[in-house]
Amino acid sequence: MTDIIQLLPDHVANQIAAGEVVQRPASVVKELLENAIDAGATNIQLLIKDAGKTLIQVADNGKGMSITDARLSFERHATSKIKLAEDLFQLQTKGFRGEALASIAAIAQVDLKTKPQEEEVGTHIQIKGSEVESQEACVTPIGTVIHVKNLFYNIPARRNFLKSTAVETRHIIDEFQRVALAHSSIAFSMHHNGNEMFQLPISNLRQRIVNIFGSKTNEKLVPVEEETELVNITGFVGKPEFAKRSRGEQFFFVNNRYIKSPYLNHAVTAAFEGLLKDKSYPSYFLFLEVDPKSIDINIHPTKTEIKFDDEHALYAILRSSIKHSLGQFSVAPVLDFNRDANLDTPYDLETKSARTPQVEVDRDFNPFQEIKSKATSGSGFQPKRQTVPQENWEALYHGLDSKDENDFSKVEFESDAITGQLFETSKVSASSTTFQLQKKYIISPFKNGMILIDQHRAHCRILYEDLLKSITVKAAVSQQLLFPLSLQLNVQEIEMLHHLREALEQTGFIFSKMKDGEVEITGIPTLITESEVSILLDQLLSDFENEIPDSGFLQTDLLAKSLAKSMAIKAGTQLDTVEQIAIVNGLFACKEPQLTPTNKKIFITLQAEDIEKKFM
């Protein structure tokens, strides 16, 4: 039999490679923009005609190329960005495959002008279907200008396959936006058929987002920031009330490279759970910085997919940091704590010439101090949050734009206005600021109406945050039991407890034995009583029945959720006013007061106008 295998000629190989790299004009745009960034440009201009089908031009002020480099740049696997396979694991550049220019030149007419700083004249190369047509010296500014004309001119099938101008333009805009968002320290512009579409000066990220998506975007952004050993997260998410019907404005960048990740997207969506209307998608612009060694970006030819070493932990961190940001920023518009004197006196006393009640107000009195001492005085119910950190109120408003409609500098909580006497006599009279409804809800008036708090859910949230804190900072206090408490458990349960032992001990449990079907406990968290221990561990084990998350973070989270749920006061528990106020204050000192750890609504508000309507 005669030999039949032969090597493909270069231009055929290039065309085949081009099929992978260049799917449509937008792919060319992406490659050229990235090359300009890799070349250190601070100003990049994109110009397209007919959705890039006729012309794609990118001009940059980057470092340019020498004569030899200019020629070599069109060779396949010609790259200045990696030398060794190991370099792949510490990539700092966008490109590295050395395929883009070779591929593009195989399927289009390319015209390149480039000049490095140290050279007097530049180089002008024309290539068509991988054939160099001309190479000559030229006058050109420092940097590179590259024209890509008549894409797929030599592959009619591919050219005919391109979508409408509108669709292809949309794809180009998408690529442009992704690159521009990731590089706000570079100026970009984009023109299509002679019309300016974007003009983006060097700026910070927030301004860049606003410059791309419009000035209305500014008020919608909530900053996200989290630093951990595994990942640093920065960026913004859109406030839930501005969520869109489409997925348009969702961007993840990993080490400044745009990526798609359904998994991480799920983490973001999970953080928004309970806050979004049906079928709406939150915007996000999130930048994750990870050790380049911990990711593999080479698994997809167009490099928008990525593999992380520790996906689960990343998920948990992302979700919690967004939740945290949303918690800090989105409660404010719901509640208006400004006092309105008119609502304090429902009857206009002056005009009715009624006698104003004489109330002596001690302006220096701080009701929070009083609550605190009451709370720890151990009157049967121990409000489980021991302190009521008034200063934490500020956290709720931290970072709000001063432009915001609500003037939060005047924030005043209803209970601030209570007179001293009310608290000095431990009998709190009917004129106090909170009361309980059906042993289930706590009602508290606010300027704009009133707030109805589910007591169990509120307490859950307070305990959850407390527990998370004590587990992470390892500062929980324990109460020693006079006699060790012994519980009989089965093998699986003991096995599960082993996994949770460390975290449990950080909440205040002390185990003296954990084997042979028996658990012996000598210390328990101060927040619970001895009689509750068995129910609590039961509940905990059933919550962990299906799985014990392998990541420490998820485990802690689940543990705190479970403990909080069983420890929280139940519906049907009567609360005195001090306890009610402790719950209200404790709740609003939380990072995320609106939702329980399992994303259930904790309170609702009834606006004054809604109440007024009912009387019409």
Which residues in this chain contact Mg ion in the complex, by CB under 5 A? 35, 95, 100
Write the burial class of residue 278 (CB in 10 Å: 0-12 exposed, 13-18 middle, 19+ buried).
exposed
CB contact set of 223 (below 8 Å; sequence gap of 6+):
234, 235, 236, 325, 399
Least distance from ligand ADP to the Cβ atom of residue 72, Å: 7
Q: Which is nearer to Mg ion, 259 or 584 (CB)?
A: 259
Strand partners, 604: 452
Place of tokens 């109440």: 611
Q: Which is nearer to ligand ADP, 182 or 243 (CB)?
A: 182
Q: Which two tokens stand for residue 105?
A: 């030149």
Least distance from ligand ADP to the Cβ atom of residue 219, Å: 37
Q: Phi/psi at 41 (nearest 5 deg)? A: -65, 150
Cα distances (angstroms) measured from residue 62 to each of 34, 44, 115, 301? 11, 9, 9, 25
Cα angle: 540, vertex 594, 604; to 5 degrees: 115
**Residue 465 interface partner, choices ligand ADP, Mg ion, none, CB cut-off 5-8 Å depending on type:** none
Least distance from ligand ADP to the Cβ atom of residue 59, Å: 9
Q: Which is nearer to ligand ADP, 79 or 580 (CB)?
A: 79
Least distance from ligand ADP to the Cβ atom of residue 158, Å: 19
Least distance from ligand ADP to the Cβ atom of residue 58, Å: 7
| Helices marked H in 484-576 | 491-507, 533-543, 552-567
Q: Phi/psi at 504 (nearest 5 deg)? A: -65, -40
| Gyration radius (Cα) of the chain, Å | 32
Q: Which is nearer to ligand ADP, 62 or 586 (CB)?
A: 62
Least distance from Mg ion to the Cβ atom of residue 8, Å: 23
Least distance from ligand ADP to the Cβ atom of residue 300, Å: 15
Q: Which is nearer to ligand ADP, 16 or 475 (CB)?
A: 16
Residue nearest to ligand ADP (CB): 95
Parallel, antiparallel, or unpaired for β 109-115 and 441-446? Answer: unpaired
List of residues contacting ligand ADP (CB under 6 A): 31, 35-36, 38-39, 60, 62-65, 73, 78-81, 95-102, 144
Least distance from ligand ADP to the Cβ atom of residue 224, Å: 31
Least distance from Mg ion to the Cβ atom of residue 75, Å: 13
| Angle at which helices 311-330 and 262-271 cross, to 10° | 30
**Residue 528 interface partner, choices Mg ion, ligand ADP, none, CB cut-off 5-8 Å depending on type:** none
Q: Which two tokens stand for residue 424?
A: 């000095």
Q: Which two tokens stand for residue 510?
A: 């002390």
> How far is Cα 81 from Cα 23, in angstroms, rounded to an integer?
23
> How far is Cα 600 from Cα 594, in angstroms, rounded to an integer?
8
Least distance from ligand ADP to the Cβ atom of residue 245, Å: 37
**Residue 109 interface partner, choices Mg ion, ligand ADP, none, CB cut-off 5-8 Å depending on type:** none
Strands (E) located in 420-477:
435-437, 441-446, 449-454
Q: Which is nearer to ligand ADP, 15 or 328 (CB)?
A: 15
CB contact set of 166 (below 8 Å; sequence gap of 6+):
51
Cα distances (angstroms) measured from residue 366 to each of 106, 413, 422, 423? 77, 12, 12, 10
Q: Which is nearer to Mg ion, 74 or 544 (CB)?
A: 74
Q: Which is nearer to ligand ADP, 125 or 388 (CB)?
A: 125
Handedness of CA 178, 179, 182, 187 (dihedral sign): negative
Q: Which is nearer to Mg ion, 95 or 383 (CB)?
A: 95
